[in-house]
Structure 1
């Protein structure tokens, strides 16, 4: 691929025909893999249909080894699903672009693709990094307009009123706003030290309540328990070495310190 080229490779013979305007749900890999784990779980549990893979010369120059032993170039993948009155486009990926220009270009291409189907709302799922371990991760949020922000309270989403969201999770809803497309970013509270399925579960449950879709959470709950065990192991090892453990939930301030909300 030439420099900065973005290429869609379609797997479906025909594009999906949605009965309703689909939501675009994005789970880009980032801190704690919070968003990616959540979207991958939806794709798996809903048996979503693979539509296309998106390749970019701005992804890291490496291949990913799959579970069957084969390799693929790093890519983003788009799936579709519809049930009842809800239609979804779901995006997951191996990587985000490595430079700002390519991030903008990829965001434009993804929104162009979603617009073909009349998508009017984009959700991105990200990480709200606090640097501390918590038992029950909270969900924070921001959106492109006040009416969406006004609905946060009924879903127990804490409003963000400062800071930034880096990378594709913030950029794509910012560009969506310029296009007249609504956007919401939900961020799961995480330490930032581990792959955090607990935060993924929290943010996914909030998303599902917003879009009115039911998904079996059993597999993600198992991964969340694995996260708890990993955190306990880290704390025990630190205690054994006489090192101060990360702040506990009880010591945590009511609102986490502003670390610049890394996605």
Structure 2
């Protein structure tokens, strides 16, 4: 049996479920970052809605590893897009941190695909909380999406800052390509997975923007279980801080 040329399959996103029809879907980005806010939110959406594995992300620079799961014999790529046709919703799910060296190629690859499908992405970045009790969310309008922030219970940033990592690259390339999108900076724990911050994101942002109902009580009830399950990934993120998507102040004159 002949083996296909692997190089010809690089740098693209392959759709497996052409039977799923989507029209200008909302996409929730869930790359691992500070507090694993987007990751926890994305995993919760995929699990809650039993979302279909819609597409596989094969952008240049991504680690060539295979993911396996409990109670099954199959494997899947580490970065995937899941879909829910009924809710017109996409979720970008990743089980691995994405290296800064791959961020440009990854963001270019994903942005082109989203633009082709008239998708409306919601990008998520964690920021170290200033107070132990707060989970404030700042909203950022990308390209021409300013009106989409109206009516949301989100603040404007209280100081100048930078969104780094692969999420920062996605926001940059969306702005550059004129792809309407929203970015959200969520205060979260820098040391531990933060299910409370993920719940705030889902309740405050994803539910109204995507016009869906999301059950988030279990994120509180299972907070300890979720934190323990994500702890290993969080430790990996801390060991490679430059790979983490996060937002942080840069100072007025930096």
With normalisation by structure 1, the TM-score equals 0.72
Q: Which residue of 2 aligns with 1:214?
A: 213
Q: Which residue of 1 aligns with 2:192?
A: 194
Q: Which residue of 2 aligns with 1:159?
A: 156
CA RMSD of aligned residues (A): 3.4
- Shift of the alpha carbon at 1:112? 2.4
Q: Which residue of 1 aligns with 2:11?
A: 6
Q: Which residue of 2 aligns with 1:251?
A: none
Q: Which has the larger radius of gyration?
A: 1
- Shift of the alpha carbon at 1:211? 2.3
- Shift of the alpha carbon at 1:25? 1.7
- Number of aligned residues: 227
How is 1:95-244 mapped onto 2 (pairs within 5 angstroms)?
A: 95-100=96-101, 102-119=102-119, 121-130=120-129, 134-145=132-143, 148=146, 151=149, 154-160=151-157, 161-207=159-205, 208-224=207-223
SS of 1:54's equivalent in the other structure is strand
Are residues 89 and 198 of structure 1, via their aligned partners in 2, closer, same or farther at CA, if it must alter by over 3 Å? same
- Shift of the alpha carbon at 1:9? 4.5
SS of 1:201's equivalent in the other structure is helix
1:17 and 2:21 equivalent? yes
Q: Which runs of 5+ in 1 are unaligned?
A: 230-256
CA distance in 2, matches of 1:106, 1:162: 26
Are residues 149 and 141 of structure 1, via their aligned partners in 2, closer, same or farther at CA, if it must alter by over 3 Å? farther
Are residues 221 and 55 of structure 1, via their aligned partners in 2, closer, same or farther at CA, if it must alter by over 3 Å? same
1:93 and 2:98 equivalent? no
Q: Which runs of 5+ in 2 are unaligned?
A: 1-5, 229-247
Superposed CA deviations along residues 86-106 of structure 1, whole A, max 9, x for unmatched, are 522211112243134x21211
- Shift of the alpha carbon at 1:184? 0.9
Q: Which residue of 1 aligns with 2:82?
A: 79
Mapped contact 2:160–2:250 kept (Cα < 8 A): no
CA distance in 1, matches of 2:110, 2:74: 24
